[in-house]
Amino acid sequence: MATTDAGHSATADHSADSHGHDHDHPSYLAHHFDTPEQQFDSGKLGMWIFLVTEVLFFSGMFCAYAIYRSWRPDVFEGCSQFLNTKLGAINTGVLLFSSFTMAWAVRASQLEQHKKTAALIASTLCCAMIFLGVKAIEYSHKWTMGLLPAGLFTYDPSNPHPVGGPNYLAYICAPFAVATVGIFIWLVVSFLRGAKFQFECAKPILVVFLCFFVGVGLGTILESGGSESHGTEHAAHVEGGEHDSHAEGEHAGEGEHAAESHEQEAATEETAEAAPTEAIAGLVAPGTMVSSDNELDVIKRLAADTTNTGLQGELAARQAQNDMANGAITYHVYDDVSATVAAAEENVMRKSRAGVFFSIYYCMTGVHAIHILAGIGVLIWLLVRALRQDFNKNYFGPVDYVGLYWHLVDLIWIYLFPLMYLIR
């Protein structure tokens, strides 16, 4: 917001007087504003309008959520069991705390407490990194299990933890590790060259990046911390999940060992799970219900007679079976076929059921995580400016605006958390 040289010279060309007012114009006040308050209010209105576009942008995803949940509430109940409530709750707390430190940072910058402002912005950044670290554990755990968006969904109830997949956690951590090493090198170089300000900047930023790995550690501990809190129906799957996270948390060498022990467990689980799974798999073999049936035409002709209610019911039942076999999301509702396959409880762990749930899940939480990443970028810029002591009681706009953005990201998570993690 500082007056640029270009702006100055342009105005100076028009009238020499404009420089005469410069004793009135502090360095932080842009030339086209009369007072700092006017500058602050204009910036704030602009920020609010940007936040409005953010709200509308996220509403598209909430709408997709609302539609699919109203279509298939059972899918949401089933799939929500795969989301770890403990990790979600911890992340909510971390984000709320970061909102608190951010609001406090705005206060500190208004009171011109420069060191406090920088420290509070750094704590906000640390919380953001812990959030991402926990998220990395959640994502890598689900990817290993094949709980992916619809097109990639490969989850197999009888083998929830396939061995030999890529180590997703390492891939997620790699960019952060590279950045951390880079910042450490920057810290050392700036120290050796005696660049004091750079050294002062690099110190908190290094701590911030190390916090990502604190988050990863926290997530690992919580993920492996017992399965009591999960729903009983899916206890078998979730329990398996806990075992796998042990393998992830420890070193790669031990991973195979844990996977081996799990396979024995899978064999015992199978007796319980295989029977219903196979029964449903037999029913939904695609296309076989209607197309290969020679009697169907006869039935259709006989059912054209409105008095022939029995055959109409049978036709409706076949239609329902066919819809289901083709993976339909919604069915025609037939009153008189309540005892047929349409009324039977179906396995939701399929591409067109759980797959779509996880598409929505990754879309919403992923876009939210991208917003966290963007927030981290802006907050680092803010941290450097706070260390430079740019802000004062008449110029704290940037802290306030970034704070507004950060609170909005928190606000979205406040809705996302119960809608995703707390469905029973």
Cα separation of 44 and 52, whole Å?
12
Left if phi > 0, otherwise alpha if psi is -120 to 50, otherwise beta: which for 159?
Answer: beta
Q: Which is nearer to another protein, 199 or 331 (CB)?
A: 331
| Contacts to another protein from residues 148-177, by CB under 8 A | 150, 156-159
Q: Which of 15, 232, 294, 330 binds another protein (CB under 8 A)?
A: 330
| Contacts to another protein from residues 384-403, by CB under 8 A | 393-394, 396, 400, 403
Told to check if 230 binds another protein by CB under 8 A, we report: no
Q: Determine the length of the chain.
A: 424
The residues near 370 (Cβ < 8 Å, ≥ 6 apart) are none
Q: Which of 22, 41, 254, 260 binds another protein (CB under 8 A)?
A: 41
Separation in Å, CA 335 to CA 161, 228, 229, 310, 345: 41, 40, 38, 13, 17
Report in angstroms how near the CB of residue 104 gets to another protein at its nearest: 6
Q: How many C-beta atoms lie closer than 10 Å to residue 351's C-beta?
A: 18
Report in angstroms how near the CB of residue 150 gets to another protein at its nearest: 6
Cα separation of 359 and 136, whole Å?
17
Told to check if 67 binds another protein by CB under 8 A, we report: yes
Told to check if 204 binds another protein by CB under 8 A, we report: no
| Contacts to another protein from residues 134-153, by CB under 8 A | 150
Q: Which is nearer to another protein, 310 or 418 (CB)?
A: 418
| Contacts to another protein from residues 245-284, by CB under 8 A | 266-267, 270, 273-274, 277-278, 280-281, 284
Q: Which is nearer to another protein, 10 or 279 (CB)?
A: 279
Q: Which of 96, 170, 343, 374 binds another protein (CB under 8 A)?
A: 96
8 Å CB contact between 255 and 247: yes
Residue 392 three-state SS: strand
8 Å CB contact between 32 and 39: no
Q: Which is nearer to another protein, 105 or 132 (CB)?
A: 105
Hunting for tokens 């990863």 — which residue is that?
216
| Positive or negative: CA dihedral 382, 384, 387, 391 | negative
| Contacts to another protein from residues 354-373, by CB under 8 A | 355-356
Q: Which is nearer to another protein, 198 or 392 (CB)?
A: 392
Hunting for tokens 């050392």 — which residue is that?
188
The residues near 212 (Cβ < 8 Å, ≥ 6 apart) are 129, 130, 132, 133, 136, 173, 176, 180
Report in angstroms how near the CB of residue 45 gets to another protein at its nearest: 6
Told to check if 332 binds another protein by CB under 8 A, we report: yes
Q: Which of 161, 318, 350, 368 binds another protein (CB under 8 A)?
A: 350
